[in-house]
Every structure is written in C-alpha cells, then in structure tokens.
C-alpha cells in the first residue's frame, strides 16, 4: 500500500498547492514514485489530459513536479464556477451537470465511491500519494459535508496531515491554534505537524511563538518555509500576479482581466522572457497603448464580452487595433473577436450577440465540450512555422469566413483565424514550447525598431523543471522531512484509522 501525506491549510491561499508540489518534487528527487491527489478542486484553470479528460491545473503542476504525466484520477471532482452560487460539475474528467451550491452539497456524498476508487487506483501504482486539502478543515458549518475534501478524506484513506498557516497575511499563530482548536479530538490527532509558510525575515525571531504554539496545541512545528521566488503557475487566483512589481521591459503586453478569466497560465511563458513585460488590465483607464493586447479564455464568453463592452474596454481595444496594435484572442477571447456569437441551445445566456468584429469568423455554442490535446504548426504570418503543442477546451464551434487560419493541426484541420494585426486561436498552452514566444518577441521588437537578437527562449518545460527544483530545495531546507517520512510510516503500518503506537 502506498504511503500518503495530506497538506491542509488554515485558509484558502495558505500555500497548500505549492507545498504539495514541493513534496511531490522532493519525493521524486529521493527516488520515490509519487503522485498528487485532490478529491475536490474548485478552479477555472483546467487542463486536458492526453486521453481528453478535464482536471484542475494544481494537480497538473504537482504531477509535473513529480515527473509524471497528469492523470484525471489525481483530481476526480472538479467544480468550475459559472456564477456566484453555481458551478459546472466535472467527475473523472467528464461533465456531470450544472449545480447550485446547496444542491451540490446535498449530493456530494454520492461521489465518495468514485473518489475512493480514483485514490485507490493511484495508490496501487505509486509509492507515495501527496494529498491536497481544500480551503480550511475548520469550516465547522460544512463539517457534515466534508466527505472527501479535508479531514473527511484523511479519515477515508488514513492520512497524516500537515497543517499550513500563511504568515504573510498576519495572525499565523491564531490561524494555526484556532484551526486545531475547532477540530474534533480524533481529527486533531491526525495532524503530524504545523508548518508556517511565506515567512520573510529571521526565523529565530519566531522561536518564542513557536514554543508557545507547540505547548498550546500539543502539535510540533515541523518547519518555517520562507517566501519563495520560484515561478510556479498559480491555481485559480490572479492576485499574486496582480501584486507583482512590474519590471520595465521593452515590450508591453496587456492581458485583459475578464471577470470570469480562465487558463491565464497560458501567458506564464511570456512573463519569463527578458523582452516581454506582462500586466493584467481590468479598466480602460489603465490600458494605455501596449504593443500587444491579449483577450484570454473565459468560463462565460458572452457575459464577459458584455462586460468588456460596458466597461469601455471594447471601444479602447477597437481603437488601438485600428491603429495597428496587435491583438491576440485565445479560446473565449478568440470567440469574442469574431462577427457574431450564437447560443441557440442556451449554453451560456441564449440568443445572439454581436462580436467585436476584428476577425472574420462566427461562433455557435453547443452543449458538447471539445476536449482534446493537439500538436500544430502556425501558418499565419509573421509566426509561420512555429511548432505548437497544446489543448482545446471549449463549448461550441467557430467557423472562419475569411482571412487565413492561425495554425494547422497535425491531422490537417485548421484552427483559428488571422487578419492583419489580429489573431485568434483555440489552443491553450500555445506559448509553452517557446517557438511562438520567440517569433512573437522578435516581431514585436521589430515593430518598435528594436533589435531582435535575443538569446533563444528556454522551453517552458526546462524552465518549469528549474523552478520545481528551486521550490523543492527551499522547502527541503526548511521542513523536517525526516518527521514527514516518519509520520507516513506510522500511518501506513496501521490502516485501521490512525498511527501505530
């Protein structure tokens, strides 16, 4: 039976995903076959596996850190918010329906068999399973519904728990003490150690507080993890990116921060290029005159297009595009750039909606979701010849009525559209290989009369490997890994509900 360790947090954003990724990498470095697992994920950033199934990106990052191929079993339940109170439910990579929060809460226990089956299947193939919790285990109003999320899942699979608190937000001692105090005694016993995350400064200054925390909770503090500079894809929040200090670079790229933005990790490779500065924009007042405007993916194309129109951003983008500024639309952003969006089956909001009119194409929404991984070659100038590897994930089909295709898929089908300085494509991950990034940077630099003699762009995969190692080295040096291994050993020796004596 595989050993396991579960990472829970005092709140959302405490750093569970990154700590789980670090553990996956550490175990991989130590020669173990490790795999991530999260019973339920809620995120708009999703990914398509090689067999065409949909899963959350957090477990994709963790799988890559572990050196393995992402597998939908690692995230059996995915909720993609579609409104303030409702989400699309995806189980084992397939759409199961649309649920309001209350109705999902009532039915989620029925998913336990499928969640356990996914976990047990992974556990039969790997040495260590790194489990990530969701939110906080101390949401006492939701305890009865914690079937396979935090302590409910830990009990089902008999996992020891690391409880993580975020010192960067302040009040970390209260976070950890309060969370432990609100747990049931048997749940508290599962906590193998406390971890303070995102610390800046001298750890020695924390020692009096750490000693008191251990005394009051009876739980050892296993590490104080410093704020890491590793560049790892965010799961489902743009706040870390919006909080970044913008580095002045020759080329200014503005990504429109749509209200329901999804898969914004598509643009992470651009941020690592020395000539490209990427910023996220949510109002016409701060758009300025960038070299490239990107319309990203969205969970609700029609609603976000209306927001773009009502906010004044559409008019600003149209004016800049008419003046020659380059515009790129990806997935939902590509759909917006067309002439018309039709929704005859009420997939989004029903009816027809005028597009931005920058590309000669028309979109018709349908209930069937396209989920496929593809390889392609760009055919649109000035990027022709760039080899791409990515995935499509969208509702509906787009028909090009003029211009030229953006790229040609390996099976011969055309994708996307291009017309002068405006480009659109359905391909997520289009910058990951580095080939399109190189051509884009050279073209944008050339338009500014700047030298395009840049060093070859490092492939996204090589860059990620370096970042995973940096993250793992940071965590390994600050976390008591011997205690983590010992906790896993104690629990695997006793599979009846707790550690062996």
- pLDDT tens-digit map of 365-415: 999 889 999 999 999 999 999 999 999 999 889 999 999 999 999 999 999
Helix intervals (H) in 39-87: 57-65
Report the predicted TM-score, pTM, of the whole model to 2 decimal places. Answer: 0.77
Residue pair 19/195 in contact (Cβ under 8 Å)? The answer is yes
Helix (H, G, I), strand (E, B) or coil at 53: coil
Q: What is the DSSP secondary-structure string of 427-493?
A: -BTTTTTSHHHHHHHHHHHHHTT----PPPPPPHHHHHHHHHHHHHHHHHHHB-HHHHHHHHHHHHT
Q: Which residues pair with 191 in a beta bridge?
A: 161
Residue 448: the pLDDT is 87
> For residue 12, what are its two tokens?
């959302």
Give the pLDDT band of residue 168 (cuts 50, 70, 90).
confident
* DSSP state at residue 404: B
Segment holding 365, helix H or strand E: strand 361-378
> For residue 345, what are its two tokens?
């089956």
- How far is Cα 387 from Cα 372, in angstroms, rounded to an integer? 17
- Phi-psi domain of 377 (left: phi exceeds 0; alpha: psi -120 through 50; beta: other): beta
Residue 501: the pLDDT is 38
Query: Crossing angle for the helix pair 172-182 and 207-217, nearest 10 degrees?
Result: 10
Question: One fold for both 3-232+464-492 and 251-449?
Answer: yes
Comparing CA positions, the residue from 326, 332, 312, 317 lying closest to residue 261 is 332
Whether 407 is a known active-site residue: answer no
Helix (H, G, I), strand (E, B) or coil at 227: coil
Helix (H, G, I), strand (E, B) or coil at 199: strand
Over the chain, what is the mean pLDDT? 90
Residue located via tokens 């758009």: 287
Residue 319: the pLDDT is 96
| 3.40.50.300, 3.10.310.30, 3.40.50.720, 3.30.360.10: CATH of 3-232+464-492 | 3.40.50.300
Selected catalytic residue, list 28, 273, 394, 428 = 428
Tell me: pLDDT of 489 over 60.
yes
Residue 500: the pLDDT is 46
User: Which range among 91-105, 212-226, 305-319, 475-489 shows the weakest confidence by mean pLDDT?
Assistant: 91-105
Dihedrals φ, ψ of 323, to 5°? -90, 5
Has domain 251-449 been given CATH number 3.30.420.80? no
Selected catalytic residue, list 4, 24, 331, 361 = 331
Residue pair 487/192 in contact (Cβ under 8 Å)? The answer is yes
- Length of the chain (residues): 501
Query: Tell me: the pLDDT tens digits for 239-297?
Result: 444 434 455 688 999 999 999 998 888 998 998 888 899 999 999 999 999 999 999 99
Query: Crossing angle for the helix pair 313-322 and 301-311, nearest 10 degrees?
Result: 80
Query: Crossing angle for the helix pair 57-65 and 16-29, nearest 10 degrees?
Result: 20
CA 319 to chain centre: 32
* R_g of the chain computed on alpha carbons: 23
> For residue 217, what are its two tokens?
């909770």
Distances (CA, A) of 494 to 126, 135, 443, 497: 19, 28, 61, 7
Break the chain into its structural domains and give their ranges: 3-232+464-492, 251-449
Tell me: pLDDT of 497 over 60.
no
Give the pLDDT band of residue 483 (cuts 50, 70, 90).
very high
Tell me: pLDDT of 456 over 70.
no
Give the pLDDT band of residue 436 (cuts 50, 70, 90).
very high
Query: Tell me: the pLDDT tens digits for 176-208?
Result: 999 999 999 999 999 999 999 999 888 888 999
Residue 304: count other Cβ atoms within 10 Å of its Cβ.
25
Whether 331 is a known active-site residue: answer yes
């Amino acid at each position: 039976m595989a050993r396991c360790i579960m990472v829970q947090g005092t709140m959302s954003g405490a750093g569970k995903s990154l700590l789980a990724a670090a553990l996956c990498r550490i175990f991989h470095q130590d020669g173990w076959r490790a795999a991530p697992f999260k019973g339920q994920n809620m995120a708009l950033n999703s990914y398509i596996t090689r067999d065409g199934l949909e899963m959350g990106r957090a477990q994709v990052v963790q799988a890559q850190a572990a050196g393995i191929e992402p597998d939908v079993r690692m995230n059996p339940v995915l909720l993609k918010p579609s409104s303030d109170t409702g989400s699309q439910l995806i189980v084992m990579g397939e759409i199961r329906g649309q649920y309001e929060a209350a109705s999902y809460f009532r039915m989620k226990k029925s998913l336990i068999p499928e969640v356990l089956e996914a976990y047990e299947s992974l556990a039969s193939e790997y040495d260590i399973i790194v489990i990530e919790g969701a939110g906080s285990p101390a949401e006492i109003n939701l305890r009865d519904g914690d079937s396979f999320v935090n302590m409910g899942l830990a009990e089902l699979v008999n996992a020891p728990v690391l409880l993580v608190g975020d010192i960067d937000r302040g009040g970390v001692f209260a976070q950890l003490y309060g969370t432990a105090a609100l747990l049931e005694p048997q749940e508290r016993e599962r906590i193998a150690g406390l971890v303070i995350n995102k610390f800046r400064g001298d750890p020695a200054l924390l020692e009096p507080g750490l000693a008191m925390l251990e005394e009051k909770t009876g739980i050892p503090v296993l590490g104080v993890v410093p704020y890491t500079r590793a560049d790892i894809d965010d799961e489902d929040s743009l706040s870390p990116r919006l909080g970044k200090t913008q580095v002045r670079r020759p080329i200014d790229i503005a990504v429109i921060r749509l209200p329901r933005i999804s898969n914004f990790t598509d643009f992470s490779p651009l941020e690592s290029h020395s000539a490209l500065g990427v910023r996220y924009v949510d109002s016409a007042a701060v758009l300025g005159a960038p070299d490239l405007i990107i319309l990203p993916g969205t969970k609700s194309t029609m609603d976000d297009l209306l927001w773009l129109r009502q906010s004044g951003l559409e008019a600003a983008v149209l004016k800049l595009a008419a003046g020659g500024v380059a515009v790129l639309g990806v997935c939902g952003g590509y759909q917006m750039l067309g002439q018309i969006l039709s929704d005859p089956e009420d997939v989004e909001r029903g009816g027809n909606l005028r597009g931005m009119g920058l590309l000669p194409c028309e979109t018709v929404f349908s209930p069937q979701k396209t989920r496929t991984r593809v390889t392609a070659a760009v055919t649109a100038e000035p990027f022709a010849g760039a080899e791409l590897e990515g995935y499509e994930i969208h509702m509906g089909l787009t028909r090009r009525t003029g211009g030229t295709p953006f790229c040609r898929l390996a099976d011969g089908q055309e994708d996307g559209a291009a017309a002068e300085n405006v480009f659109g494509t359905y391909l997520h991950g289009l910058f990951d290989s580095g080939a399109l990034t190189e051509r884009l940077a050279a073209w944008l630099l050339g338009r500014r009369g700047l030298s395009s003699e840049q060093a070859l762009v490092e492939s996204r995969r090589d860059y990620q490997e370096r970042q995973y190692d940096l993250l793992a080295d940071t965590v390994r040096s600050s976390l008591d890994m011997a205690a983590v291994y010992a906790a896993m050993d104690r629990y695997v020796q006793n599979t009846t509900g707790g550690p062996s004596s």
